[in-house]
Chain A
Amino acid sequence: MKKTLTLVITIASLAATFAWAEEPRSGGVINTVIQPEPPGIIAGVHQNAPTQMISGNIYESLLRYDTDLKPMPQLARDWTVSEDGLTYTFYLHENATWHDGEPFTSADVVFSTDVYLREMNPRTRTILSHVKSIEAPDDHTVVFTLKNAFGPFMLAFEAGTMPMMPKHIYENTDFRTNEANNHPIGTGPFKFESWDRGRVIKLVKNEDYYEEGLPYLDGINWHVIPDASSRAVAYENGTIDVLPANSVENFDIPRLSELDNTCRTEQGQEYFSPFAMLWMNNREGPTADKRFRQAVMYALDREFVRDVLWNGLGKVPLSSFGSNASFQNDSLPPYEHDPERARELLDEMGYKGEEIRLLPIPYGETWVRWAEAVQQNLQEVGINVTTQSTDVGGWNQRLAEWDYDLAFTYLFQYGDPALGISRTYISSNIAKGSQWNNVEGYKNERVDELFDLAATAYPDEKRKEYYHEVQEILHDEVPVGWLLELGFPTIYRCDVKNLVTTGIGLNDGFKNAWFDR
């Protein structure tokens, strides 16, 4: 009898706690860090990572994406795609308003996409080049008609890529110098409150947000703490509740993860899929020979780097497509760490010990150590490597001018190959002045053809065929070295619930987060 009673009471109280614990509560201000201090907080104007992190809470796009990159409604509550994949119709929320009270309508969508983003964002410009027309049949419907089927189009409506900007504020003005840039007006769950330069950026709850009950938080404070060790200390002494991805040095992550009331997640990077690569100059020198590039892949000990420098986080990539990218061809033979094979290839091509310059990324300790590791790996197989030290300005310059032999980089693959992967390999993307296009100078007509066909093919099975073939070619030719699919963990207090629920993590995640205190 007593036992049964105890059991019942235990179960009842457990159930009660669960029910009670799962019920989100309103209130609380989150303290987090932003690194480096962004030049601005409007994703339309600046496209770097810290800007996007803050901007995504103020500005929204038509859709959001979960951690499997499936679209979810945002400003568009529903949508349809025509059979042939050429017409996308979005039905907008009727009661969404801008932070200044003006209603959000389809006119804003047309303005943002057709006018504002075409001018301001190079990446969005490329995506929109597939669009024939953008029309607003009524105040709450927008129709995108494409020139050709474009599979990744559904993935383009993300807060940083396609943010909705208020037409009534920006139309017919100079977008970069408009006064309103100092006080951003969006439709998002949080409003801009203040920016104390060098100290803190404050956002507050949007009381008139069109989604009932959201957001739960009262506000977000983004603290500017320039030093990685200081950020770690701030988390330890309770000042900071959330350490976003890439805000502390990798060496501190194990220690911080072990602290009390500390949780860690690797999710929230799926949309971006950061991918570290090694540019290899396809134009001149030993790197122009395919066998040299293959030798480099065999010489690298990628597992060592993942374990020692990245705390075992991230994945050793199979080939050019990361594991989050759609249409990955996983039947390709991996490039194992095989120094013998590397030496064979170098002998075969007749490598005479010419000096090879290695350019590391100048963004922190981990990258410097990585360059040292790679230099060792390569020297072990007989490649004469000299590391060039350079700062941010110099690194950008060298890549933009193609003045390198081997150079580190990391880019975002953006889920769909047409968005983030093809740009690295198609020959039309060879142009000086950018570090993000086909910097290695790789030219293969069949690869160009395949990427072109695949981008506009319909339906997905057709795209898969093309992409699988292109991966086979790339795997053999190794235009660039594939180093690591990066794992950037977010570290946070366990009583912050529901923090990372989307494919872009904190960038738009605070909407659903709540404090269990």
Chain B
Amino acid sequence: MNFFARFAQNRGALVGLIILTIIILMAITAPLFFPESPWRMLQRPFLTPFEVDGFPMGTDTMGRNVAAGLMHGAWVSLLIGLVSTTVALLIGLPLGAIAGYYGGLLDDALMRFTEFFQTIPSFALAIVLVAIMQPSVTSIVLAIALVSWPPVARLVRAEFMSLRNREYVEAARLVGQGNTTIILRQILPNAMSPIIVLASLMVATAILLESSLSFLGLGDPNVMSWGYMIGAARTVIRQAWWLSFFPGLAILLTVLALNLVGEGLDDALNPKLSRERS
């Protein structure tokens, strides 16, 4: 069975993939449907959904089009999720690889460092980092990456530790390949599967983290994200429930989709014997 067949066997993963595709399409086609900036104050505030043509989700406290915000926000969430995960990988991969491959004192030191980082509550640390760097897309991405890398390092280390004693690695050493080459060409490709699965889950977590920060008012004020929309709607929840409802639903579906796809990838890349799946 090839990769796609195994993936497709998990129906949940298929659903997830469909949802994810819809959201990506939303992000891409947003300028088509809503060419105006979602920050434009176009109508009366607090319009209910469908009250006026062109405003299927109503307007917010300033008369801005909620549907426009929702679609433009998709792009923001996905972008931040992807970039921060990438940066976290760029930090965690090298650290984990070195610790797992070389072992000994280096491993000890790096693992102490990782543990140290994990002792500080991650959300609190993220908040402090954003406060220091002052909120902007860059600082949010960095803050998320800086609190998310420890699990990557741990996973990579575990993989490298179990793979470094394989025969093909021995063989490579005998042939005279340098350590860096072995790490990059021999072990890493074989360790990729669980890393990919972890990455997909990390994108989901990053999106949740970003929306939490924006909700608290620590988001980039020039960028309309879903978390920001919910935060802005918090004080007017009595008058306009739909302002919090739709963006939250969007986050829920995106994160759900990413998790389902992650599980599908897990099935496809790491087939285990007699796996019980419903």
Contacts and interface: CB of A to CB of B under 8 A. Distances in A.
Nearest to A228: B235
A365 B219 CA distance: 14
Given A375-B39, A390-B135, A308 B235 contact: no
A93 to B, nearest CB: 46
Given A228-B235, A369-B62, A372-B39, A386 B222 contact: yes
Interface in B228-278: 232, 235-236, 238-239
B62 A372 contact: yes
A378 to B, nearest CB: 12
Contacts of A373: 41, 62
B136 A376 contact: no
Given A372-B39, A389-B134, A255 B238 contact: yes
B61 interface: yes
Contacts of B40: 376
Given A252-B235, A365-B235, A373-B62, A389 B41 contact: no
A360 interface: yes
A376 B135 contact: no
B180 to A, nearest CB: 42
Interface in A258-278: none
A388 B45 contact: no
A479 B63 CA distance: 31
Is the contact region of chain B dominated by helix, strand, or loop, or is it mixed?
loop
Contact of B136 (A249, A252, A389): A389
Nearest to A371: B221
Contacts of A476: none
A389 B218 CA distance: 8
Contact of A388 (B131, B221, B235): B221
B220 interface: yes
Interface in A336-366: 360, 365
B39 A388 contact: no
Interface string A106-127: 0000000000000000000000
Interface string A365-408: 10011011101100000000011111101100000000000000
Nearest to B62: A369
Interface residues of A, number: 25
Contacts of A391: 131
B222 A369 contact: no
Contacts of A368: 217, 221, 232
A279 B131 CA distance: 23
A308 B39 contact: no
A251 B134 contact: no
Contacts of B218: 389
Contacts of A360: 221
Contacts of A386: 222
A423 to B, nearest CB: 28
A249 B235 CA distance: 8
B235 A387 contact: no
Nearest to B131: A391
B131 A387 contact: no
A328 B235 CA distance: 37
A308 B220 contact: no
A229 interface: yes
Interface string B108-140: 000000000000000000000001001110000
Contact of B61 (A369, A387, A393): A369
B221 A251 contact: no
B221 A365 contact: no
Contact of B220 (A304, A376, A389, A394): A389
B19 to A, nearest CB: 31
Interface string A306-323: 001000000000000000
A64 B131 CA distance: 43
A223 to B, nearest CB: 20
A255 B239 contact: yes
A372 B222 CA distance: 9
Query: Which 4 residue pairs are nearest across A and B when measured between Cβ atoms?
Result: A389-B135, A387-B221, A389-B221, A249-B235
Interface of B: 39-41, 45, 61-63, 131, 134-136, 217-222, 232, 235-236, 238-239
Given A376-B39, A386-B222, A389-B219, 16 more contacts: A251-B61, A255-B239, A308-B62, A360-B221, A365-B232, A368-B221, A369-B61, A373-B62, A376-B41, A387-B221, A388-B221, A389-B135, A389-B218, A389-B221, A390-B134, A390-B135
